[in-house]
Amino acid sequence: MSLVRQIKVNQLGYPVDADKIAVLTAKCSEFEVVNQKTKKIVYRGELSEPIEDQASNEVVYHADFSNVSDSGHYYIQADGVRSATFLISDNPYFEARQGILKAFYFFRCGMELTEEYAGEWAHKACHLAESIVFDNQECKLDGTGGWHDAGDYGKYTVPGAKAVADLLLAYELRPNAFNQAIPIPETDGVIPDILHECRYELDWLLKMQELETGAVYHKLTTLEFPGLDVMPEDDLDPQYLTPVSATATGTFAATMAMAARIYKPFDQEFAAVCLERAEKAWQWLLMNPDVPGFKNPVEITTGEYGDEDDRDERFWAAAELYRTTGNENYHQALIELADEDFSKTEFGWADMGGYGTTAYLLNGKALSNHDVYQKLMSELIHEAEKLLNNCSKDGYLISLENEDYVWGSNMGVMNKAMTLLLAHHFTGNVAYKNCALDHVHYLFGRNALDISYVTGFGDRPVMEPHHRPSVGDQVDAPVPGLVSGGPNAGLQDEYAAAHLQGKAPAKCFVDHEDSYATNEVTVYWNSPALFVLAHF
């Protein structure tokens, strides 16, 4: 990879009416904004006072060029160094938004990805055999379809549900962001492609439910991960449906209740099935109030997604079921859970309380318990204010603290931007939205490593993600539109440990296929990024 430039910008660009700031690691007297086409200097400005950025262990300077508002391609230069060329326009992230959504098609399991839709990343259908129920290995079930979770070929209920929820929420709040076809095989000009894509995962999730009990299998994987260069159609080891879990059942109930509401205008029969299954899952949760967290059976070494606390998933399920049905029983369950001591503002795969809070607040004051509504709104705004304060102290203007540079830190970046955008939605405070946009700038290059963490976008994007199809397909470029995990100070793989010792937290990233702890990809890192980009 080329040397890190001393002027960091969003390599895609900036909206015309937005604040526009570059981050410099070189002390210069002034900076200039240059029109790429005409080579004319369109703006000169002075740098900010020096800022000590703890996460990168750098002294940085801000170059504010918000006054440049004419559409076009530009770069910034200062004392002999220059930035990437970037676009200023009304819609600079349209292609990235489309690409990040299209990536879910590339994650599909169980169908051929044809050249018509997948281009050079086409491959044959995969994982078509029946799956073995781990607890009853004489029993085999259809587990085909859905999305591969990450750089491997496992399919996991909880993170899959988070990904679907992010997409459905993005569509619910910003439907006009999804008017254009991606396209995918189901594109019909009637149902938005984002709903077609979610349907592919929802149909698989329905297969993960035990129809007799309502409980939901935690995951569907092989006993161990396949080799890194194995294409999906060549991964022929048996796949196992692992035991059910309360977290899987809770997230299933919540996501199906969302789907019942959102798909009803397009497919009433499917919506009815989703609601029936959601309520069946809820009944299992009621009958099983104390379920231990999921643990991998000793024979299985694929991702565990363990979580000892299922209160947040139950809270989310109650909120979505109440919002969809208006049934007071769900409301009472939510009111009781809202008093429990767990985070109500997180949007991760383990801590999911933010989804329940969002569903309840979107339902409106009139249908809410006044005290619970005020409590949840207060917690959301308190979290947004904390993030806003963090951004004001960070050299790269994002809300991560040093301890947030963990496995999948870019999910944290986008989840925090989600929080800010939801706070903006409920309050109208534009400061929250502006701060969320700063997180977009980070993702696409305004960061300590001058890298776009999304494959195929920006002039210096991730090129070697830990993603089996991208490694094994003999195509030089990786599958586009994949959000990389990002800096992880834990150095939890051998490659990272060998190459990143002593680095500052924000620099603990390496663009190499062997670094699964910094450079893997997942559907649930793509999904919050899509939610965020739908707002800009």
Positions marked catalytic = 466, 511, 520
From the centroid of its chain, how far is CA 320?
A: 20
Handedness of CA 301, 307, 308, 311 (dihedral sign): negative
Helix (H), strand (E) at residue 244: strand 244-245
Question: Rounded to whole angstroms, how far apart are CA atoms 205 and 312?
Answer: 20
In this structure, are residues 157 and 252 in contact, taking their beta carbons and an 8 Å threshold? yes
Write phi, then psi, for 484 (nearest 5 degrees).
-75, 155
454 - beta bridge partners? 483
- Are the C-beta atoms of residues 11 and 452 closer than 8 Å to each other? yes
Q: Hey, which bits of 279-408 come out as E strands?
A: none
Q: Nearest-5° angle of CA 143, CA 241, CA 145?
A: 20
Q: Tell how strand 216-217 and strand 136-141 pair up.
A: unpaired
H or E element that contains 184: none
Q: What is the DSSP letter of 242?
A: P
Closest by CA to 84, choosing from 409, 449, 400, is: 449
What phi and psi, each to the nearest 5 degrees, are found at residue 27? -80, 115
Q: Find residue 64's DSSP bridge partners.
A: 21
Report the first-to-last Cα separation within the chain, whole angstroms: 30
Amino acid at 136: N
Cβ neighbours, 10 Å, residue 514: 17
- How deeply is 2 buried, as exposed, middle or buried, from its count of CB atoms within 10 A (0-12, 13-18, 19+)? exposed
Element (H, E) at 535: none
Closest by CA position to 108, among listed 143, 146, 59, 75: 146
CA–CA dist 33, 49 (Å, integer): 19
Please choose, from the candidates 356, 326, 322, the residue with its C-alpha nearest in 3D space to the C-alpha of residue 339. Answer: 356
At position 439, the amino acid (one-letter code) is: H
CA dist., res. 212 & res. 394, Å (int): 52
The backbone region for 211, taken as left when phi is positive above 0, alpha when psi lies in -120 to 50, beta otherwise, is alpha
Are 201 and 146 in contact by the 8 Å Cβ rule? The answer is: yes
Best CA proximity match to 459, nearest among 447, 450, 467, 448 = 450
**In one letter, which amino acid is 499?**
H
Q: Which helix (H) or strand (E) holds 333?
A: helix 328-338
